[in-house]
Amino acid sequence: MGINMLDMKQSNAQTVLWKLCSCRTSTVKDLAQLTGLSYATVGNILTDFVNSGEVLLGEMLSATGGRPSQFYTFNAEHAHVLALSARTREGKHMIRACVGNLYGELVWQAEQCFDDIQLASFEHMIDSALHTYPSIRILSFSLPGVERDGVIITNDYANLRGVSFTKHFQEKYHLPVIIENDVNAAVSGYGKNVETDSAIVGIYFPRYFGPGAGIIIDGKVLKGACGFAGEISLSPIGIDWLSMDYEKPREIGYAISRLISIFCGIINPKHVVLYGDFFTESVKETIMEGIPTEDLRNIFPTIIYQNDLDFDIITGLISQAVSVYQSGLKGDFI
């Protein structure tokens, strides 16, 4: 099979662009050394990207006092991604919308309450974001439930169940669409700053619904065959989470300790992130007291307590969306 020169040219261009992104600012010479491409190839690619606006001309500088070199700067504002997170917080149904640049930095955000979450709720937030940032190229959503092939299978919001979510927003906005479970998105965001060969479990306790978990192994979110990995409310361990009194440290503490112990025996995570607004010192002490055996104590993970998962969700969604954009997938998302 012959080499497709057009594909090679595009591949080289993407290599140079995203290497410059990681450096933020660089020269032709340095990029040629980093990518293994010729000086002339890198120079031509950068010229094309300057013309398209994806790269900006920087200063003419000399590191050694000799002939100055042209510096090039990655334009992180050339395109943007939109992250939308649907949550129920303190009994209120909320959607948080955040726009990120190609460095993953937040440049705009908004939040609004709704009587109930439905497709029109997201459209209102998307329209507002696109009006402010028409350069948005990817839509990423976090939902409390399970999605399969773009269709919402289970969800805390009844109006979304059975909806062809991906198709609806692709057809309306003609942009790639990413859907992620809320806890999967959160643990993905937390994992951004953790070594990629770790096993990480995130567990969210929303009070109004049963808890959910997200699992990362070697840097990848474990979703399972049908997307139900982490739906721990299905676990037959004799705990009624909906009737649980979260204000009783011993009751909730021992239940959580038991849950963590199960993950220890199946996943053996290095980190467990617990998301909830009830983690007093008494609850934390009870969780540690509830470890059933000394042997299990030796494999018990590091526990991180987070009052809320909003920050990690947005971090995870924007990171995933930027990765999709970097892959060169700028048309319909399949």
Domain ranges of the chain: 5-74, 80-185+311-324, 193-309
Percent of all residues in the chain with a pLDDT value above 90, rounded to a whole number = 66
Residues 6+ apart with CB under 8 A from 195: none
Task: Please say if the pLDDT value at position 292 is more than 70.
Answer: no
Check residue 332 and give its pLDDT. 35
Task: Please say if the pLDDT value at position 333 is more than 70.
Answer: no
Task: Please say if the pLDDT value at position 106 is more than 50.
Answer: yes
Task: Please say if the pLDDT value at position 312 is more than 90.
Answer: yes
Two tokens at 266? Answer: 């199946």
| Half-sphere exposure in the Cβ direction for 194 (13 Å, CA) | 24
Name residue 61's beta-bridge partners.
69
Residue type, 76: A
With bands split at pLDDT 50, 70 and 90, how would you rate the model's confidence at 1? very low
The domain 80-185+311-324 is placed in CATH, from the list 3.20.20.240, 3.40.50.10320, 3.40.50.2300, 3.30.420.40, at 3.30.420.40
Q: Residue 250 CA to chain centroid, in angstroms?
A: 33
Please state the rounded mean pLDDT for residues 86-101. Answer: 91
Two tokens at 294? Answer: 């000394």
Check residue 296 and give its pLDDT. 59
**Average pLDDT, whole number, for the chain?**
89
The domain 5-74 is placed in CATH, from the list 1.10.10.10, 1.10.150.120, 3.90.1150.200, 1.20.1250.20, at 1.10.10.10
Check residue 63 and give its pLDDT. 59
Task: Please say if the pLDDT value at position 172 is more than 90.
Answer: yes
The domain 193-309 is placed in CATH, from the list 3.30.420.40, 3.40.50.2300, 3.40.50.720, 3.90.79.10, at 3.30.420.40
